[in-house]
Structure 1
Amino acid sequence: MARFLHLFALLFALLLTPAAIAQERGPVVLAAASLQESLTEAANAWAAKGHAKPVLSFAASSALARQVIAGAPADLFLSADEPWMDAVAKAGMLRAGTRATLLGNRLVLIAPAASRTKLTIARGFPLARALGTGRLALADPDAVPAGKYAKAALSRLGVWTGVVAKVAPAENVRAALALVERGAAPLGIVYATDARASKAVRVAGTFPATSHPPIRYPVALLKASRHKDAAAFRTFLFSKQGRAIFARHGFSAP
């Protein structure tokens, strides 16, 4: 709760500072943590066209959705799953007709770069044995999309009950990635794009797409948005240039 209130306060402060009032700012975009590198590149490309650079705020989709529902000032929301976008829609916070699926992703098992661990991920695969006395890093499996996908996959593959006591839950997928990067956990589950963004980890296995719900990233304008560039920036994300940026970072078409 304290972290949520802190993020909420930061958003208000961002919009109310004299500097922000004195000069034009870009639309405020709340986006899933896994989009950090790709969306930042997209925002820079948009700004290079002469537009005000979008203001990006990254966190777990669950935390961002709660901020939107609580009334945080923002223009666009990009979630790492459909259920949290559904929650925002149910609260009546989306601009009608603007919700669409932007991206897809894959789920992978990661290990530190120096590790030699390699697993074929299939039903009953020896994950608990591979962990030994170590922990399994993943985003909060009860709320954060990456963690929910991970729990769904491990459950379907019949290994969740054998590793649940070893789970080290993190506040978002990048926090889970960091646990493996610094060696605090021998294995973790993140998106393929997160693993690609880090030189400190390697992919130890890829989850079958059929082992979990499809990983989709919906985007929508928020009903309270008043920024003149918000709709145009959303359109840019779906453009040929925008899609090429996301593809370079490993995202797939939905």
Structure 2
Amino acid sequence: MKTILVLFLSIVLSHSVWAQSVIHLYAASSMTNAVNELVSDYHQQHPNIRVVPVFGSSSSLARQIEHGAPADVYLSANEKWVHYLVNQGTVSAANVRLLVGNDLVLIQPSDLPAAHFDVGESSAWQAKLDDSRLAVGNTQAVPAGIYARETLQSLGVWQAVQPRLAQTNNVRLALALVERGEAPLGIVYKTDALQSDLVSIVHTFAESHHDPIHYPLVTLSQTPQVDDFVAYMHSTDAQKTLKKYGFNTHLGQATFKEH
């Protein structure tokens, strides 16, 4: 009888812990729309588990995690900041898997006439920008900004464009500058551009101009609930949702490699 009672209490307590579970997901700003839908869908399947997303630049989130922020899962917009956490000993490379990829695009306000110019010509950039600015994420810290800098350098126009940059703390703010017409051009992810009716895509940059845009998903807490959520993020259903938002869900044999 005592054994049965202990077993019953164990089951009840286990269920109670599961029922009260809260998972903190730290995710890159460019994932906002897709993650919100994924979290909603997951909650419908697991009503007793609440996933709380925290959005920001990948660099800012990585710094917070480094200093002990209560994150259970980290979704970065590039591999650099995950490598940083691995090298700091905060994250194990064994707990990192690439989730999706993305493309980098040049955008303008949708109410402007279509812009046609050679992205490899400094004079074309200068003429288009005139006295205005090119909206980008911070080119030293924000992944979208880092990719933008790599692209402009690869195209040979960095020296001409760099003094005309309007650098922001995350890619969504760069998108907002173009949406409001405060910048005639911006460089953002394709997924961000596709979610806005206020901007149009002028040019999609070739992958050869920048490092691969991969989103690593990092498991920070080892619990059955977190493991289940991470497994869901890699599931066929979740991948369909991510593809709907414009993410590249076929990374081939690409894997996260520890430096």
TM class by shorter chain equals 0.7 to 0.9
Secondary structure, counterpart of 1:39 in structure 2: helix
* 1:74 and 2:90 aligned: no
How far residue 226 of structure 1 moved from its aligned partner, in angstroms, is 5.3
The answer for the alignment partner of 1:85 in structure 2 is: 82
Closer/same/farther in 2, CA of residues 76 and 24 from structure 1, 3 Å limit: same
Task: Give TM-score, length-normalised by structure 2.
Answer: 0.85
Q: Counterpart in 2 of 1:208? A: 206
Q: What is the rounded CA distance, in whole Å, between the counterparts of 2:222 and 2:98 in structure 1?
A: 22
User: Following superposition, which runs of at least 4 residues in structure 1 exceed 6 angstroms of deviation?
Assistant: none
Structure 1 distance, partners of 2:93, 2:77, is: 20
Partner of 1:56: 53
Amino acid across the alignment from 2:170: N
Structure 1 residues without counterparts, runs of 5 or longer: 1-20
Asked if structure 2 preserves the Cα contact closer than 8 Å seen for 1:78 and 1:218, the reply is yes
5+ unaligned residues in a row in structure 2: which ranges?
1-16, 252-259
* Number of the residue aligned with 2:195: 197
Which has the larger displacement, 122-131 or 82-91? 122-131
* TM-aligned CA deviation for residue 205 of structure 1: 1.1
Alignment partner for residue 217 of structure 2, among 216, 219, 223? Answer: 219
Evaluate the alpha carbon distance shift between residue 205 and residue 48 of structure 1 in structure 2; reply closer, same or farther with a 3 A threshold: same
Correspondence list, 1:55-204, <5 A: 55-95=52-92, 97-119=94-116, 122-124=119-121, 126-204=124-202
Greater mean deviation of Cα atoms: 82-91 or 117-126? 117-126
Deviations 1:61-111 (A, max 9, x none): 000000010111110111111110001111222245220110100000111
Quick one: distance in 1 between partners of 2:160 and 2:42? 47
AA matched with 1:221: T
Q: Count how many residue pairs are aligned between Structure 1 and Structure 2.
A: 231
Instruction: Assess, with a 3 A threshold, how the Cα gap between structure 1 residues 121 and 57 changes in structure 2: closer, same or farther.
Output: farther
1:249 to 2:245 alignment: yes
Identity of aligned residues (%): 37
Question: Is structure 2 residue 41 aligned with structure 1 residue 45?
Answer: yes
Say if 1:117 and 1:132 are closer, same or farther in 2 by CA, change over 3 A: farther
1-structure distance, mates of 2:88, 2:62? 10
User: How far 1:131 sits from its partner (Å)?
Assistant: 1.1
* C-alpha separation in 1, matches of 2:118 and 2:229: 39
Does the residue aligned with 1:210 lie in a helix, a strand or coil?
A: helix
Look up the match of 2:31.
35
Deviation at 1:228, TM superposition (A): 3.7
**TM-score, scaled relative to structure 1:** 0.87
Q: Does structure 1 retain, via aligned residues, the 8 Å contact 2:86–2:93?
A: no
8 Å CA contact retained: 2:104, 2:188: yes
Compare CA radii of gyration and give the structure with the larger one. 2
> Which amino acid in the other structure matches residue 33 of structure 1?
S
Q: 1:120 to 1:232 in 2, by over 3 A?
A: farther
Question: Which residue identity is paired with 1:27?
Answer: I
How many Å separate the matches in 1 of 2:182 and 2:20?
43
Distance 2:192 2:246 in 1: 9
- 112-121 or 64-73: bigger deviation: 112-121
**RMSD between aligned residues:** 1.7
Letter in 2 for 1:24: Q
Q: What displacement does 1:209 show?
A: 1.2
